[in-house]
Amino acid sequence: MTTARFIPRFFLIFLLTAPLLCCGCESLIGGRAQKVDLSTPKAAALDYLKAIGRGDAATARAASTGTGEQMRWVDGLAGFVDGMRKFDAALTAKFGQVITQANVDMRDSLQTLAEEPVGLVEQGSEVINGEEAWIDTPRKGFTSHYQSTYRLRHTREGWRVDLVKTYAPFPANQLAEKLPGVTASFRRYGEFGDVFRATAGDVMGGRFHSTDEAARGLAERMKELLQNAGE
């Protein structure tokens, strides 16, 4: 494994499961949220996931329910995907549609983190139990087994993704102890997004002369972030 592989497979699994293992950034999207469909659990879950997949924290917030702290989980996750997409776009804009390990890793990561959940929910079935629901999704492929089960709650406006039950499905007697770790994980998502955006700016500014150089620069920034956090 080299530093050029900035989102290796084990790191993807960490990102998918970090809130559950646990052991904010502010919303990045200005302006109004796009209209969301809250008429059914699946419709709400899909609008939430599609918003996350394009880095649209405002719309994802509109399709979810939780405390102010939990809404910042949404900001962190959307910010991370936004950063990845900006870095990917910078690589393409600067170096063209070249196929390198860096490009492959980035596209694989976006597929797993932003696109696969949408496909799984589209194929899944709603299970409704009174005011609560969840999406029973198929388990196809390695990474699908690590995707969250999206749980929803019926509110006055309609169905919304229940953030705490989706990302912190702990027993009630453990929840207070576990929530700070979940919050820290989503804050880290936001910090990773900041690193991607900063490195994308360096790519466009001409600091790197190839995708491999850019990947190494990203890896160094990620390493520095983790070291500063004592990890």
* pLDDT (0 to 100) of residue 99: 67
CB 133 within 8 A of CB 150: no
Q: Are strands 125-129 and 64-65 parallel, antiparallel or unpaired?
A: unpaired
Rg (CA), the chain: 18
d(CA 168, CA 94) in angstroms, rounded, equals 40
State which H helix or E strand residue 136 sits in. strand 132-136
Buried b (16+ CB within 10 A) or exposed e, 204-219: eeeebeebbbbbbbbb
* pLDDT (0 to 100) of residue 181: 94
Indicate the pTM of the whole model.
Answer: 0.85
* pLDDT (0 to 100) of residue 48: 97
* pLDDT (0 to 100) of residue 231: 63
Q: Is 142 helix (H, G, I), strand (E, B) or coil?
A: coil
The pLDDT profile of the chain, 231 residues, written as one tens digit per residue, is 233 344 444 344 445 555 544 433 334 444 578 999 999 999 999 999 999 999 999 999 999 999 999 999 999 999 999 999 999 899 989 988 766 777 777 788 888 888 889 999 999 999 999 999 999 999 877 667 777 899 999 999 999 999 999 999 999 999 999 999 999 999 999 999 999 999 999 999 999 999 889 989 999 999 999 888 776
* pLDDT (0 to 100) of residue 23: 37
* pLDDT (0 to 100) of residue 31: 54
